[in-house]
Structure 1
Amino acid sequence: MSSIHTIRVTKFEIGHSRRWFQMARTMASAAFLLVLAGCSSAITKLETWEGSPATAVNAATLKAPGAIHVSQVNGRSMTNYLMDDLALDYALLPGDNQVVFTYKTIWAKSGVVDNGESKVYVIESEPQVVRFDANPNETYHFEFDKPDSRQSAEKMMPEFSAAVVGENGQALAQSSNWSPDDSALLARTPANDGAVSGYNTDSLKQLKAVWGTATDEERKAFLRWAFE
């Protein structure tokens, strides 16, 4: 076999290997996205209480879009997820509820961005609080003005306010600025006897459930990320 022929065969094998590697990376990325989608669907409904209250069977639902980040419900801290723009539904016990949240918009920067500099502008409201009476099995959502530009977002943030709207389209309450010094409603249900001090028990259960369905490779990838 001539040396020219050998070089051609080698180039073909290298090119074929590269194409196979790129295809494998694409398939792996697609599989990872499917896992994320599955995880997202498992965590899109969050309970806002501890224990097992009897009224939980008739819980109301508050739908929050990705731009709304709920930090507290009735004085109880809510879980922070890796994806800030994840739309979530919050299960609320019927009766008085106090929800603390912020509104955040993200705008791409135009032009050249220096190394290490963020490629986006993040414009966030001051913490807001809204109080309303939730009816059993009702669904509520946030309504607010949406800016059409970064400049518009910057102007509206100092006066930002959102309404909680019921299924009939009627606004039940309007949010106002909140501070940690404000009096908050205490959790209306006793702590779960099985709660682990310093941990969100519901989140721990969800992590255990996801871990139990993950493959060995997915577990290894998660552990590498966690301990980097």
Structure 2
Amino acid sequence: MGIKQASLSKPAFGRSIKRVSHSLFASVLVIALAGCASSMTRVETWEGEPEAASQAATLKAPGDIKVTQVNGRNMSNFLMDDLALDYALLPGENEVVFTHKTIWAKSGVVENGESKVHVYLSEPQVVRFNAEQDEVYRFRFPEPKSRAEAEQMAETFMATVVTEDGQAVADSKSWTPQQASDRTPIPASRAVDSADDSALDRLKAVWATATEAEKKAFLRWAFE
């Protein structure tokens, strides 16, 4: 008795190959996303490739803390708001500017076009501390238990940076953009005889510490 060989029609064979391809693509995509997930949520706060980068400390920021600047460098929005991120800090003195936001659902009927939530955003805060190499830090602050507490806390918010074992490192203070420009002196070596050049140096120093919104507002004004 002869042995019958299994046969597969061309359409069925094509569907099988397509299913395998889709499954393989999905598996590769999952692996790729898993592999880059940690790097997507860890933000380097420096430019270039400093030698101390391999010994960087980590500052963990929960979703309700949004870091806007580190050492005068603006931090971009990553993926979406309210995303917990880790910030890699070079060892030594660091300055971190941030805000705190809480969201509370509105009770009752919401009119068309009206937001369904209450959003309470603190004024910008700044914390300065000496980061130790390979150390892990996090923000510690009270959690509001009601909407009334959240509203009040937005006006008086303050956070403490602590180590992994809970040891306090530094308390935050109110921050304004003017503070950054005041702390950015023009080096004496760049002083020039021309008043126009001195003004240009000052503009460059202020531009380096301006927020993205401030830069856009200035450019709109300059080209009107």
- Normalised by the length of structure 1, the TM-score is 0.63
Structure with more relative contact order (C-alpha pairs < 8 Å, separation 6 or more) = 1
Q: Take 1:153 and 1:76, find their aligned partners in 2: how far apart are those partners? A: 29
Q: SS of the residue aligned with 1:116?
A: coil
Q: Take 1:163 and 1:92, find their aligned partners in 2: how far apart are those partners? A: 17
Q: Take 1:40 and 1:84, find their aligned partners in 2: how far apart are those partners? A: 16
- Correspondence 1:64 to 2:61: yes
C-alpha contact (below 8 Å) 2:72/2:180 kept by paired residues: no
* Aligned position for 1:211: none
- Correspondence 1:121 to 2:123: no
Q: SS of the residue aligned with 2:130?
A: strand
Stretches of structure 2 that go unaligned for 5 or more consecutive residues are 1-26, 185-224
- CA offsets, 1:145-187, max 9 Å, x none? 110111111112221100000123111000010000003777x
Aligned residues: 156
Greater than 6 Å deviation, 4+ residue runs: none
Q: Choose the corresponding residue for 1:160, options 157, 162, 187.
A: 157
- Correspondence 1:171 to 2:159: no
Stretches of structure 1 that go unaligned for 5 or more consecutive residues are 1-30, 187-228
Q: Take 2:161 and 2:37, find their aligned partners in 1: how far apart are those partners? A: 24
Looking at CA atoms only, which structure, 1 or 2, has the larger radius of gyration? 2
Q: Choose the corresponding residue for 1:55, options 28, 31, 52.
A: 52
* Aligned position for 1:27: none
- Normalised by the length of structure 2, the TM-score is 0.64
Please tell me the residue identity of whatever aligns with 1:81: F
Q: Take 2:120 and 2:84, find their aligned partners in 1: how far apart are those partners? A: 18
CA RMSD of aligned residues (A): 2.4
Q: CA deviation at 1:42?
A: 3.9
Q: Take 2:108 and 2:66, find their aligned partners in 1: how far apart are those partners? A: 29
Q: SS of the residue aligned with 2:68?
A: strand
